Amino acid sequence: MEGAAGAVNAATGQPLLRIDGVVKNFGAFRAVDGVSLDIKAGEFFALLGPSGCGKTTLLRMLAGFEAPDSGRILLADKDIAQALPHERPINMMFQNYALFPHLSVYDNIAFGLRRAGMARADIATRVAEMVALVKLEGLEKRKPDQLSGGQRQRVALARSLARRPQVLLLDEPLAALDKKLRESTQGELMELQRWLGMTFVIVTHDQEEAMTMADRIGVMNAGKLVQVAPPRELYEAPRSRWIAEFVGDINLFEGEFKLRDGHRLVIATGGAGTLVAAEPREPIAGAKLSVAIRPEKVKLSRRAPVGEGSALNQLDGVIADICYLGGATTYKVKLDTGGMVQSSVTNSARLDVDAYSLNQQVVAWFTPDDCLVLDQ
Amino acid sequence: MSTRRIFARPARFAAIAPYVWMVLFFLVPFAFVLKISLSQTAIAQPPYEPVFDLTAGWNAIRTAFGALSVDNFRLLVSDDLYIFAYVRSVTVAVTATAILLLIGYPIAYGMARLPKRWQAVAMVLVIVPFWTSFLIRIYAWINILQHDGLLNKVLLALHLVSAPVVWLSTDTAMYLGIVYSYLPFMILPLYATLAKMEPALEEAASDLGAPPWQVFWLVTFPLSLPGVGAGVLLCFIPIVGEFVIPDLLAGSNALMIGQTLWLEFFTNKDWPVASAAAIVLLVVLLVPLLLYERLQRRQLEQR
């Protein structure tokens, strides 16, 4: 397999796919509201958002099933916004696979190649290549309803890759698989994408899936693209309270800005008393703020930690709830100041000498750098 | 005991109900017709002989059996009249069914692509003619098609013709009546298959480079074949035996088998020949049914 076209474009640094101010209305409902986004060649890009946020509509506009009401979609500098699906060098893997039930595995994979007018012998070679790629050897003559869910998923993938599209769109490609299969397939998809050097755009509502696979994630809410960032930045530096709550678990304390101490802000919160947090990169207007801390950044100890400096946030409380998850345990701590804080502790030892018990007095602590200051 | 168990288990009763129905209302009458078809006409009541008399004893029944013959069937295959009637029936049915498919498919396709709430409205519009008696609707056509009927008046007013056209008692009128009457039977099964088809399949075909006409021929049409088969059978079988529409709208120079049957039964009072004609008609109709069934079974086996 060659992925030469993608690699060349990546070298020039030009975006392969440019979405520019795209708007789509369904009657009075604005499904996609002025989305602009550049996707680089060879990138694995994920569109993440709750159901109804417009991510699927955006994907369908890339495939050509919907035409944007305004805005441009440029593929390699050519506007394809109004081009019909069969005229685009873009293929899609459908959510429920949409395999043709009356055609065999072979004919399903060959469907796109025949439409392209490829010679019979070349089709046979390409189909064999695809079948080997997704490890379906020996099943070429089967009909889709004679296959397992995982096999159907592979046929759908092979069929959408067969034409070697410049961009492959994947609409919730793993949603129908069970957990174990989904995890192994995630790995295979990433490997495949890297090896082919193809540009993948995946739509998912599963944030772990997006985090695991994508180079960059675009989070959508109510038709708008609210943040585009690599997985780590999205998790550690979400741009709004909504994103912070949507991606992963988080402790949130609403409060008021009190004073600035160098690069630190002192914020009086309702539930957790006075907290010290690192100044956010972009200043937030107004005095009403939220302080957010990821549960795994909140440490627990039996008594106050020593030698960590006075700026440390220390909160006294008692263990109110314990949730054992295997690899980690989540404790809910009822704070003396009235709030509740969640702490996720890695179970790094097999024996439970370090475990806390219900109603035990603890100190929950975290550094100012681990605090996020967000809008309210 | 056994009857009580049958009624104690509604499921089992439901399972045998169709067979009871078939035996009572199909096989038993069929046996009567078959027996009459093997009898001879007689000036009597009933107008054929021999008559089985179960009270006359064993020997009488054996004699009656001996008197049965296939003469009526010989007559059917030797007389042009009947052969022409069968050929015309099948020709009319094939032509009308083809026209029905050509008109019904686009309508059903259009209905299935309407927004959901409009589909219900379209469905009612297709069924609403059934609220008027079939016979009244055919008489209405006579009214429209006659010499000074609505159609000729409109054509004359628009100066499309200079003199009234003869519509009634022509094959055109008959086909018009048949297509008009049977269209819902073609549309409904087609609509049912097309409406439940996953729209993503057509999208996938177009995504893989198929222009709209290829999407239709390679995906939509093959997947709608069960509906096509059902619609074709629902129209073809009753049209072969159709009596009222050709009798009222077509000319009398070429009769369909339904009309021939009627003549034999009521005008000629020749019940045995009429019965034999009915039996042959049944066989003619069984052929497409069996073909359809075999086709379906093969599709099932492929899965």
HEC per residue, A24-45:
EEECCEEEEEEEEEEEECCCEE
Asked if A64 lies within 8 A of B207 by C-beta distance, the reply is yes
Residue numbers of A between 71 and 90 with CB closer than 8 Å to B? 84-86, 90
ipTM of the complex: 0.85
- Alpha-carbon gap: B215 to the closest alpha carbon of chain A (Å): 10
- Alpha-carbon gap: B302 to the closest alpha carbon of chain A (Å): 8
Asked if B205 lies within 8 A of A63 by C-beta distance, the reply is no
The pLDDT tens digits for A42-77 are 999 999 999 989 999 999 999 999 999 999 999 998
User: Per residue of chain B (303 residues), what is the pLDDT tens digit?
Assistant: 455 555 556 677 788 888 999 999 999 999 999 999 998 888 888 888 888 777 777 888 888 888 888 888 998 888 888 899 999 999 999 999 999 999 999 999 999 999 989 999 999 999 998 888 999 999 999 999 998 999 999 999 999 989 888 999 899 999 999 999 999 999 999 999 999 999 999 999 999 999 999 999 999 999 999 999 999 999 999 999 899 999 999 877 788 998 998 888 888 888 999 999 999 988 888 887 888 888 778 776 655
Alpha-carbon Rg for chain A, nearest whole angstrom, is 25
The conformation of residue A92, written as its DSSP 8-state character, comes to: E
Q: What share of chain B is helix, strand, coil (3-state, %, to 5)?
A: 80, 0, 20
- Closest CB to A86: pick one of B201, B206, B302: B206
- Alpha-carbon gap: A91 to the closest alpha carbon of chain B (Å): 6
Q: In the block, which residue shows the tokens 């168990």?
A: B5
**The one-letter amino acid at B237:** I
**Better-predicted residue by pLDDT, A31 or A3:** A31
Asked if B210 lies within 8 A of A115 by C-beta distance, the reply is yes
Nearest CA in chain B to A117: B209
Nearest CA in chain A to B208: A112
The pLDDT tens digits for B45-54 are 888 888 877 7
Give, rounded to a whole angstrom, the gap between the first and last alpha carbons of chain A: 50
Strand order in the sheet with A313-324: A299-301, A361-366, A313-324, A328-335, A340-346
Distance CA B33, CA B281 (A): 12
Asked if A100 lies within 8 A of B205 by C-beta distance, the reply is yes
Judge whether B204 and A100 are in contact, CB under 8 Å: yes
Residues of chain A contacting B201 with CB distance shorter than 8 Å: 98, 100-101
Q: In the block, which residue shows the tokens 């549309």?
A: B187
Distance CA B202, CA A247 (A): 35
Indicate whether A305 pLDDT > 90: no
Query: What is the CATH architecture of B75-301?
Result: Orthogonal Bundle (1.10)
Asked if A85 lies within 8 A of B206 by C-beta distance, the reply is yes
Residue A210 half-sphere exposure toward CB, CA atoms < 13 A: 30
The pLDDT tens digits for A214-229 are 999 999 999 999 999 9
Cβ atoms within 10 A of the Cβ of B199, count?
Answer: 11
Cβ atoms within 10 A of the Cβ of A341, count?
Answer: 23
Distance CA B209, CA B221 (A): 17
Judge whether A271 and A293 are in contact, CB under 8 Å: no
**The one-letter amino acid at B227:** G
Residues of chain A contacting B211 with CB distance shorter than 8 Å: 84, 86
Q: What share of chain A is helix, strand, coil (3-state, %, to 5)?
A: 30, 35, 35
Instruction: Give DSSP secondary structure letters for A223-288.
Output: TEEEEEE-HHHHHHS-SSHHHHHHSS--EEEEEEEEEEETTEEEEEESSS-EEEEEPPSS--SSSE
In this complex, is the C-beta atom of A27 within 8 Å of any C-beta atom belonging to chain B? Answer: no
3-state secondary structure of A374: strand
**Cis peptide leading into residue B29 (ω within 30°):** no
Whose CA is closest to A238, among A342, A373, A368?
A373
3-state secondary structure of A141: coil
Cβ atoms within 10 A of the Cβ of A310, count?
Answer: 6
Judge whether A336 and A295 are in contact, CB under 8 Å: no
Alpha-carbon Rg for chain B, nearest whole angstrom, is 25
Write the CB contacts of A66 (distance below 8 Å, at least 6 apart in sequence).
A24, A57, A60
In this complex, is the C-beta atom of B228 within 8 Å of any C-beta atom belonging to chain A? Answer: no
Residue numbers of A between 238 and 267 with CB closer than 8 Å to B? none
